[in-house]
Amino acid sequence: MKSLLTRIGREIGYGFALLGGLVALCCQGWAAGAAEPASFIVGADVSWVPQQEAEGRVFSVGGTNQDVLAILRTHGFNWVRLRLFHTPQNPDGYAKQGWCDLPHTLAMARRAQAAGFHLLLDLHYSDTWADPAHQHRPLAWRDLDDAALARAVGDYTRATLTAFKAAGVTPEIVQIGNEITNGFLWRAGETNLTNWAAFSAELKAGVAAARAADPHVRVMLHLDCGGDNRRSRWFLDHAVARGVTFDLLGLSYYPKWHGPPEALQKNLTDLAARYPWPLVVVEYTAPTLREPNEIVRALPGGKGQGTFIWEPTGYGGPALFTDHGCAKPALDLFPQLARDCAR
């Protein structure tokens, strides 16, 4: 009897936590004035473009040179995603030239806005790549204890969004971390998520700071496991139980690591039915580029908000351009895809 009551208590507690997430979604997301996108997101992560252009790359279609953002816009893309590193010039940072630091990212955001794009800002909370195998703290935060680290996340998030607003560019979606299924801001020797109490406090600090800086911004959490339902549910159930609230769930999908498109479809369909959050595939490659978009668009309840193709200008993504910047035939898939997804 005692074990049965304990189990019932846990289920009731989970139910209240999930209800709290639903209430937060309504009160802090859509009702705050952050309306749903008018159309399906056909997005691209174009964070490499400033570096490529500085190295001399010129983009073209049919032999005619054009701004790469104009090319994407005329081919049906309506959102861009930009990553931001804390201080990439630091030793062991992303690039001594400062690519993807705040000034470079602000400049690219202005270009994107001028070209008519909506903006998703991807906060890595690191001086370099953050992903399931690498979640290294910025050098500036290396020796902070748990409480100070949560404060640093909040201060940095608030200052970043305030800088964007001051520059006249406001991200409509902000990611609190990048591919954080294994946690982020690891301690020395850490390679996985081992301290939910500290991690959830850091997440909540970032979420609260983003909403304080801009009440209209939609906050996203981003997991790497697009084809792994068990791991996705494990993370989300823990986050809900810890009182973490957010507005959108982003997932990565790479067939090499996450399985065939059927695995993505099965996972997203279950998540759409089980949880309140709209879903976005924020990084993807696929043998057929239409498949992730069709899977997301077909999710029940209109939960599928859209996709962001991973780095279509090259350097390892499903490139829509050659190494010389010439548009590939695959780019011509997207005008029709955008029309289909808008229906």
Report the catalytic residues: 179, 283
H or E segment and range at residue 275: none
Residues 6+ apart with CB under 8 A from 283: 45, 252, 253, 254, 308, 310
Q: Residue 43, SS3?
A: strand
Is 48 in contact with 313 (CB distance < 8 Å)? yes
Helices (H), 67-140: 68-74, 102-114
Q: Quote the tokens at residue 162.
A: 């305030």
Place of tokens 């032999």: 63
Count of H-run helices and E-run strands, the chain:
11, 10
DSSP-assigned letter for residue 296: H
Q: How far apart are CA 188 and CA 143, in angstroms?
A: 10
- Separation CA 304–CA 280 (nearest Å): 6
